[in-house]
Amino acid sequence: MWAKTTFLSLLLACSAAAYAGEFPICMYGVNDPKDVSLLKKAGFSCLQTYRQDPALLSRLAEAAQKEGMKTLFYPRRILEDKTVAGQAQSWPVLAWYLVDEPDVARWSRERVAESHRQAKETFPDHPTAIVVGQGKTAVPFYDLSDVFMVDWYPVPHLPLTSFGEQIALARAEIQKTDRPDKPLWAVVQLFDWKEYKQYRPDHERIGRFPTQEELRFMSYDAIMNGATGLFYFIFTTNGKPLPSAAPDYWARIVPVTQEISSFRPVLEGGKEVKNPVSAAKAGALELKTWKYAGAKYTLVLNPTDTAQPVPEKLLKKKYKPMFGAHKMAQIPAYGVWMLQY
């Protein structure tokens, strides 16, 4: 037992180096190589698909490679064919997607660990990832893959801040493992719940597509609570790509991902430092600060549904708002500021 655990730990440690400082911004459900260049322009650095046909995966990988992007694929059918597996060694793999929500699919720890072992046996230099449906699960999966992911979709039936809370729960559990700094990727809701089957058909159907403000808040709320990468679920609406099927919805996410993409150098190379104001003076606001290339950047988040006063210090000229924001005495409900100084 000890030998198996040690071997697993060594595999995880070896793959960790591939993620030193990387902050991926990715899209779920990309099925056509022709869409890859559009995603690149929108600020995305990688893509995921649920399709498992090796020929399609090869074409997606080739398209991603041309755009300098990476991929997240299921490995099962790749592992079944040695020729394809050999070709996949050179694919731009972000990680192999072992299982979607083992907590919901009722996978055991042993089954997840075996899936990880099989992937690493063929792809020792490629990381593995699993995604769970909530931050804290009854079965602890936190140490069984190179990367841990959380999907939690609150709009409109749960508090918007519950997303960040679930990310924080997952980070707390990861910190109990032998890899406390393991990458944690947050999956942001980019869909309308009405498109999906309801668990309780006797209940009234509720749902809507998140607003641009909600998408932006959830993205930064995840970062505030320890996410080291962002995924967006999903590229399609009713099976068709968002850009053509729902251009107004697509227009909500592009400004958000382009903004975060422009901030990636700080997220990847910045060092977290002390905030310019104390928690007591920040009141209900949440702050996180990075130092990068001689400058400091402070993320200011209002996690409440009412406007909140901004600490007087942050209203001084020294603190310059980024991304088109204008400083005011109050930050609006679920508002986000990024200050540079």
Residues 207 and 216: their CA atoms lie apart, in Å, by 19
Q: What per-residue confidence (pLDDT) applies to 20? A: 56
Residues 167 and 172: their CA atoms lie apart, in Å, by 9
Spatial CA neighbour of 42 closest among 73, 71, 67: 67
Rounded to 5°, angle at Cα 142 from 136 and 144:
145
Q: What per-residue confidence (pLDDT) applies to 205? A: 82
Residues 74 and 60: their CA atoms lie apart, in Å, by 13
Predicted TM-score (pTM) above 0.75: yes
**Beta strands 240-241 and 271-273, pairing class:** unpaired
Q: What per-residue confidence (pLDDT) applies to 332? A: 97
Q: What per-residue confidence (pLDDT) applies to 204? A: 79
Residues 289 and 11: their CA atoms lie apart, in Å, by 33
pLDDT by 10-residue block (mean), the chain, 341 residues: 36 45 96 98 98 98 98 98 97 98 96 98 98 97 98 97 98 97 98 87 85 98 98 97 98 98 98 98 98 98 98 97 95 98 98
pLDDT digits (tens, 9 = 90+) for 220-263: 999 999 999 999 999 999 999 999 999 999 999 999 999 999 99
CATH numbers and ranges of domains, the chain: 2-269 (3.20.20.80), 271-340 (2.60.40.1180)
Residues 113 and 7: their CA atoms lie apart, in Å, by 12
Q: What per-residue confidence (pLDDT) applies to 198? A: 75
- Asked whether the beta carbons of 250 and 242 are under 8 A apart, the reply is yes
Which residue stretches of the chain are H helix? 2-16, 36-41, 54-66, 76-79, 82-88, 102-105, 109-122, 162-174, 212-224, 242-245, 247-262, 264-269, 279-282
